[in-house]
Amino acid sequence: MVDLMSILLIIPLLGCMFALFARKNDVNAFYVTIFTIVSDMAVLLCLLPNVVRIGGDAVNGWTYQWLMPMNVELSFGADVFSMLLLLGVYLALLIGLVGLLPQQRKSKSLLLSTLYFAWCMTGFLTARDMLSFYIFFAGMVPPLVMSVGNFGNVRKMSSLYVFFALCFVGALMLLTATLVIYRFNHGNIGLLEIALIRMPKYAALVVWIGVCAAFLSRIPIWPLHHWFSLVCGGIKNPLVYIIFNLMPLTGIYGFMRFWQLTVPESAEVFLPIMTTFGVLTMLFAAFIGISHKDFLPKLFSYSAVYYLLFLLVIVLLDTKYAQNIAYSLFIFLIVNATLTVSELWSENACAESKCDYRGILAYMPKLSKVFAFFVLVAVGLPISSMFWNNFVLISALFKENFAAGIGVMTAITLIGMGIMFELFMMRSLPENIDSEVWVEDISDKQTAFFMAIVVLLFLSFFDPLWFVF
C-alpha cells in the first residue's frame, strides 16, 4: 500500500521528465504521456481492491517527512471516493489524449502541462494533511494557466488575467485558511483532525470563508460562471478543454473533504444563500445551454449543472452520500470527456470537408454511435450507474429541500433536452446526405477504444465497481 501510493505520485513526475527530453516535433512525448497515464491507472487498479476492502474509511498510505523539526509531515492516503475520482480523471485525460489531432500530438508543452496537472491531481486527491492539500491545490495553477493560455485562444490580456486571478485568488484564500490553522495548531495537521483544533470563533470563520472561497473559485457558480464561459469559449483543443473542465472537480472534492469539518455554527446562516445561488445558477446555465446553437456551450452548461448538483448534495446532505457522488462523478467525467472529444472531432470534420455542421454525424456512422450512447448516458437513461446514483442523490435532495429539488430537476431536464435535441440535429437525417461529400470517420482503433469505455459504463449499471477484483 505504502509503496504503491508513492509510486502513484512518482510516475507522473517521471513521465514529465521523459516528455521534457523527448525529441521536438515528434510524437514520442505523446506516447510517453499515454504510457504514464496508463501506468498510473494500472497502479491505481492495484490499490483499489485494498481500499474497497477496508470500506469508506481513508487508508493512510505514504508519509514524507518533509520538515520534521517544524512539525511538517506530508501524508497521503486513499479512500474509495478519492480513488474513483482519480481513476475518472485519468480516464478523462486518456480520452483527451486519444482525441488529439495528429498535429496537436506533437505539442510538448501541452503534454508536459497535462502530466504536471495529472501529478497535481494525484497529490490533491490523495492528500491527507492540510499543507499537502494546499500545495497540490495551488500547484494546479501553473499547468492550468499555461495550457489555457497557450491553446485556449485567450489572446486578450484581460481574459487571461481573469482566468489567472480566478485560480490564484482561490489558492491565496486556501493559503490564508492554512496559515490560520497552522497558527492554532503550531504545525501541519491531518484533514480529519481540523475539526478538533480549538480556535476562537472569528478564526473559525476566517478558515471557513477562506476554504469556501477557495473551492467556490473553481466552480462555475454565479457570478463566476461568466468568467468560466469567457475562457472556455475559445478552447478548441480537446485535452485542454477536458483539463479546464476538471477544474470544478477540485472545488467539489474540496467541499467534500472540508464541509463537515470547518463549518462553524455562525456560518450556517449562509447556507440558504448558497443553496439559492446554486439552484438559480443551475437554472440559468440550463437556459443558456438551451439557447445556444452549438454543442460545446451546451456541454459546458451541462457540466456546470451537474457540478452544481453535486455541490448542493454535499452542502445540504453532508457526506452521507459520498459513495453515490463518487460513482456518479466517475461516470460523469468519462461522459463529459468523450462528448468533448466527439464534438471537436465532428467540428474538425466539418471544417475539413466544408459540409454543414447539422447532420454531420450522418457521414460518420462510427462516431455517431459513440456519440449517441454517451449522450444517452449523459441525460440519465438507465444504461450506466449514473442513473441509479443520480436517482438516489436527487431523491435525497427532494427529501431535504423540496424547492431546491424542483429547481435541480427542472435544470437537469432542460439541459438534458438541450443536448438530446443537439444529438437529433447532428445525427443522420436522410435529406441532409450529400453523396459528393466525403467525411473521414474515426479510425478502427479509436472506435475500439470508445467501445471499451462503452462496455465499462454499461457494466457499471449492474455493479459500479465491477472492475475491482
* Interface positions with other proteins (CB under 8 A): 66-70, 108-109, 134-136, 138-139, 141-142, 145-146, 149-150, 154-155, 157, 160-161, 164-165, 168-169, 171-172, 175-176, 179-180, 182-183, 206
Q: Which of 224, 240, 220, 249 is nearest to 148 (CA)?
A: 240
Nearer to other proteins, 136 or 373 (CB): 136
Question: Minimum Å distance from CB 179 to other proteins?
Answer: 4
With contact defined as beta carbons under 8 Å apart, do 364 and 441 qualify?
yes
Question: Minimum Å distance from CB 210 to other proteins?
Answer: 10
Q: Is 23 exposed, middle or buried (0-12, 13-18, 19+ CB in 10 A)?
A: exposed
Question: Minimum Å distance from CB 393 to other proteins?
Answer: 33
Nearer to other proteins, 166 or 315 (CB): 166
Question: Minimum Å distance from CB 405 to other proteins?
Answer: 38
Question: Minimum Å distance from CB 160 to other proteins?
Answer: 6
CA distances from 454 to 194, 352, 433 (A): 41, 28, 27
Nearer to other proteins, 182 or 241 (CB): 182
Q: Is 183 exposed, middle or buried (0-12, 13-18, 19+ CB in 10 A)?
A: exposed
Question: Minimum Å distance from CB 172 to other proteins?
Answer: 5
Nearer to other proteins, 149 or 359 (CB): 149
Nearer to other proteins, 180 or 282 (CB): 180
Element (H, E) at 76: strand 72-78
* DSSP state string for 349-378: HHHHHT--STTGGGG-HHHHHHHHHHHHHH
d(CA 240, CA 220): 17
Nearer to other proteins, 5 or 304 (CB): 5
Q: Residue 17, SS3?
A: helix
d(CA 34, CA 52): 26
Nearer to other proteins, 204 or 304 (CB): 204
Question: Minimum Å distance from CB 335 to other proteins?
Answer: 31
Question: Minimum Å distance from CB 61 to other proteins?
Answer: 19
Nearer to other proteins, 66 or 466 (CB): 66
Task: List the beta bridge partners of residue 104.
Answer: none
Q: Residue 307, SS3?
A: helix
Nearer to other proteins, 224 or 439 (CB): 224
d(CA 289, CA 411): 10
Q: 24-33 — which CB contacts under 8 Å span 24+ positions?
A: 24/108, 25/106, 26/106, 27/105, 27/106, 29/106, 29/108, 29/111, 29/112, 30/97, 30/100, 30/105, 30/106, 30/111, 32/111, 33/97, 33/111, 33/114, 33/115
Scanning the structure block, which residue is given the C-alpha cell 487571461? 160
Question: Minimum Å distance from CB 177 to other proteins?
Answer: 11
With contact defined as beta carbons under 8 Å apart, do 6 and 62 qualify?
yes
Nearer to other proteins, 218 or 427 (CB): 218
Element (H, E) at 73: strand 72-78
Q: Which of 287, 295, 285, 281 is nearest to 336 (CA)?
A: 295
Question: Minimum Å distance from CB 154 to other proteins?
Answer: 8
